[in-house]
């Protein structure tokens, strides 16, 4: 039972319609957090006590600010977020999506006065040997350095998403923990611990699936 004297932790999640997104929702709700899944279809997720759905987009700072207003933290799982309609991706789709989304989140959260941001994505473009053009990557990294937010970047866990095998909330019911489900829940616990405890603010981290 939730302690009424303890303020409920309010989390907004982009990327809920994915296997890891489902695991994050299940784990956050088990902690009795108040979770708002920001989606493009309000009927896309099964209802659960403590779970709210709200429309939210990552291609515009104003839309992002309105979506996350009143939250304690925002967690964005980019592999679970479909590209915005009509938004053309360049050859490096992972970086292009990160550039757009992180820029909108940095500006949007600042406007909404939400201080905690965690982004889970493919950050391989940040590696010196990635082969990615240096200038746009440096520009985005400078945006992060200049931001007053308490942000953390987490490398997306390998194998979290399997094409054509998206796990929903129903797949995470108690007593039916297949190896993949158990691994995703382990990753979700580690990610939510970092989001709440903020042990690696303004750093890039990697989650160990073994816990």
Position 84 scores a pLDDT of 63
In this structure, is residue 139 part of a structural domain? yes
Q: 10-residue block means of pLDDT along the chain (211 residues)?
A: 74 97 97 96 91 94 97 96 60 80 98 98 84 80 97 95 91 82 95 98 84 46
Q: Helix or strand or coil: residue 173? A: coil
Whole-angstrom distance, CA of residue 205 vs CA of residue 210 = 15
In this structure, is residue 21 part of a structural domain? yes
Q: What is the pLDDT of residues 102-117, one digit of tens each?
A: 999 999 999 999 999 9
> What is the CATH number for 33?
3.40.50.720
Position 89 scores a pLDDT of 46
Position 155 scores a pLDDT of 96
Whole-angstrom distance, CA of residue 23 vs CA of residue 156 = 14
Q: Helix or strand or coil: residue 41? A: coil
Residue 174: which domain range? 10-206
Contact 118, 76 (CB under 8 A): yes
In this structure, is residue 4 part of a structural domain? no
Domain count, the chain: 1
Task: Give, to the nearest 10 degrees, the angle between helix 179-197 and helix 19-30.
Answer: 60
Compute the CA torsion angle 106, 112, 201, 128 (nearest 10 deg).
-10
Q: In sequence order, what E strands does the chain have? A: 10-14, 34-39, 51-55, 73-77, 116-121, 150-155, 203-206
- Which residue, among 209, 192, 203, 180, has the nearest Cα to 35 in the 3D structure? 192
Position 86 scores a pLDDT of 54
Position 149 scores a pLDDT of 99
In this structure, is residue 42 part of a structural domain? yes
In this structure, is residue 3 part of a structural domain? no
Contact 207, 155 (CB under 8 A): yes
Q: What is the pLDDT of residues 143-179, one digit of tens each?
A: 999 999 999 999 999 889 998 889 999 999 877 678 9
In this structure, is residue 116 part of a structural domain? yes
In this structure, is residue 5 part of a structural domain? no
Position 211 scores a pLDDT of 46
In this structure, is residue 1 part of a structural domain? no
């Amino acid at each position: 039972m939730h302690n009424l004297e303890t303020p409920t932790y309010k989390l907004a999640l982009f990327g809920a319609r994915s296997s890891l997104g489902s695991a994050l929702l299940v784990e956050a709700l088990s902690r009795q957090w108040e979770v708002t899944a920001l989606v493009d279809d309000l009927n896309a997720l099964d209802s659960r006590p403590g779970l709210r759905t709200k429309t939210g987009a990552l291609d515009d700072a104003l839309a992002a600010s309105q979506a996350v207003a009143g939250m304690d933290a925002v967690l964005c799982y980019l592999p679970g977020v479909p590209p915005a309609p009509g938004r053309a991706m360049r050859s490096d789709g992972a970086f292009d999506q990160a550039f757009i989304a992180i820029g909108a989140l940095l500006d949007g959260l600042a406007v909404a006065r939400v201080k905690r941001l965690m982004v889970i994505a493919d950050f391989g473009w940040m590696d010196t040997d990635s082969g990615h053009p240096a200038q746009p990557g440096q520009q985005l990294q400078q945006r992060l350095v200049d931001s007053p937010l308490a942000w953390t970047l987490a490398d997306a866990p390998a194998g979290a998403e399997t094409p054509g095998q998206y796990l929903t909330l129903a797949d995470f019911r108690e007593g039916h923990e297949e190896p993949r489900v158990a691994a995703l829940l382990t990753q979700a616990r580690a990610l939510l611990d970092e989001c709440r405890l903020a042990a690696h603010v303004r750093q890039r981290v990697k989650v160990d699936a073994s816990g």
